[in-house]
């Protein structure tokens, strides 16, 4: 399934695609060579319009063959008041693919295990704005402490889904979960669940083989995820 995605997106059929591929390659080389990541694998593909700040790179660990799409925005709040605070906050393991326009905002810890696929417009955020003080604008109230998000091996997150953990605690998706597009996940789910809705509920529980066939169907619908 992964190979099929790479093959369809690796076509040289269009000159525009060719230039963006060159830019993406150059940008990936630049980032890998100059950014002080906590760990980085080989064959990274970071789209030239994706945003990883250099000062936040020490909080990232990227695995092999990770692909990151256009306009995907990583951010993390560094605790500048703690000297030498270098704990890793975002871990992306091997063969993860993060689609275009995703927002990944780590205050504490976000972990993508192997083969996780995020389609476009996904939000993964382990904290949120505090709004409880009614006399202060929400934009000035800072963030909630938040929790930890862990997305299991082989999960697929559909378009425009949101995975949120605004309170203390953990949001853990087990292996091979599928999150439907537009779902809002705010609590943990076991492996092989199919999640949909706002807030998300487990729509069905299926064997890993059945879900894998669904997910390969999804991958055919969105072949250009890594571009």
Partner 1 sequence: MAENCSEQERRPIDYTSQMTMEDPLWWLSRIANKLRTVWLARTYPFVSFGKRTWTRYSLHVTRSGARYISIGEGVGFSRDVVLDVCAGPDTHSPVLILEDGCGLQRRVVISARNRIHIMRNAIFGPSVLMIDHGGDVEGRADSAVCGPQAGGGTIRIEEECWIGFGATIVCKHGDLVIGRHSVVGANSVVTRSIPPYSVVSGDPARIVKQYDFSKGKWVLGCIRPLATAERKLPVVAASLLAES
- Interacting residues toward partner 1 by CB under 8 A: 27, 30, 34, 53-56, 71, 73, 75, 77-80, 101, 103, 107, 121, 123, 125, 127-132, 134, 137-145, 160-162, 164, 166-168, 182-184, 186, 198-199
Closest approach of partner 1 to the CB of residue 20, in Å: 16
Closest approach of partner 1 to the CB of residue 129, in Å: 6
Compare residues 45 and 192 and give the one whose CB is closer to partner 1: 45
Compare residues 10 and 23 and give the one whose CB is closer to partner 1: 23
Q: H helices then E strands: how many in the chain? A: 3, 19
Rounded Cα gap, residues 134 and 125, in angstroms: 23
Compare residues 5 and 196 and give the one whose CB is closer to partner 1: 196
Closest approach of partner 1 to the CB of residue 154, in Å: 24
Closest approach of partner 1 to the CB of residue 49, in Å: 9
Look at residues 127, 87, 132 and name the one whose alpha carbon lies nearest to residue 105: 127
DSSP letters of 76-118? E---TTSTT-----EEE-TT-EE-TT-EEEESSEEEE-TT-EE
| Residues 6+ positions from 179 with CB-CB distance below 8 Å | 155, 156, 157, 158, 161, 163, 173, 185, 195, 196, 200
Compare residues 5 and 164 and give the one whose CB is closer to partner 1: 164
Compare residues 57 and 225 and give the one whose CB is closer to partner 1: 57
Closest approach of partner 1 to the CB of residue 103, in Å: 5
DSSP β-bridge partners for residue 198: none
Closest approach of partner 1 to the CB of residue 2, in Å: 27
Is the distance from CB of 96 to CB of 112 less than 8 angstroms? Answer: yes
DSSP letters of 167-185? SSSEEEE-TT-EE-TT-EE
Rounded Cα gap, residues 57 and 46, in angstroms: 13
Compare residues 19 and 30 and give the one whose CB is closer to partner 1: 30
């Amino acid at each position: 399934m992964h190979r099929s995605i790479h093959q369809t997106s690796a076509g040289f059929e269009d000159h525009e695609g060719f230039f963006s591929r060159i830019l993406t390659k150059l940008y990936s080389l630049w980032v890998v060579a100059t950014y002080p990541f906590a760990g980085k694998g080989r064959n990274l593909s970071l789209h030239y319009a994706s945003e990883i700040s250099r000062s936040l790179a020490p909080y990232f660990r990227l695995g092999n063959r990770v692909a990151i799409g256009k306009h995907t925005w990583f951010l993390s709040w560094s605790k500048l008041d703690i000297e030498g605070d270098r704990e890793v906050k975002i871990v992306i393991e091997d063969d993860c693919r993060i689609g275009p326009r995703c927002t990944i905002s780590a205050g504490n810890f976000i972990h993508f295990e192997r083969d996780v696929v995020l389609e476009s417009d996904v939000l993964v955020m382990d904290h949120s704005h505090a709004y409880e003080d009614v006399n202060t604008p929400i934009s000035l109230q800072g963030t909630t402490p938040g929790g930890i998000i862990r997305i299991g091996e082989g999960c697929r997150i559909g378009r425009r889904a949101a995975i949120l953990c605004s309170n203390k605690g953990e949001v853990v998706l087990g292996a091979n979960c599928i999150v439907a597009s537009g779902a809002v996940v705010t609590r943990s789910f076991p492996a092989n669940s199919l999640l949909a809705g706002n807030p998300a509920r487990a729509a069905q529980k299926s064997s890993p083989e059945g879900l894998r066939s669904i997910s390969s169907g999804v991958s055919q619908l969105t072949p250009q995820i890594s571009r």
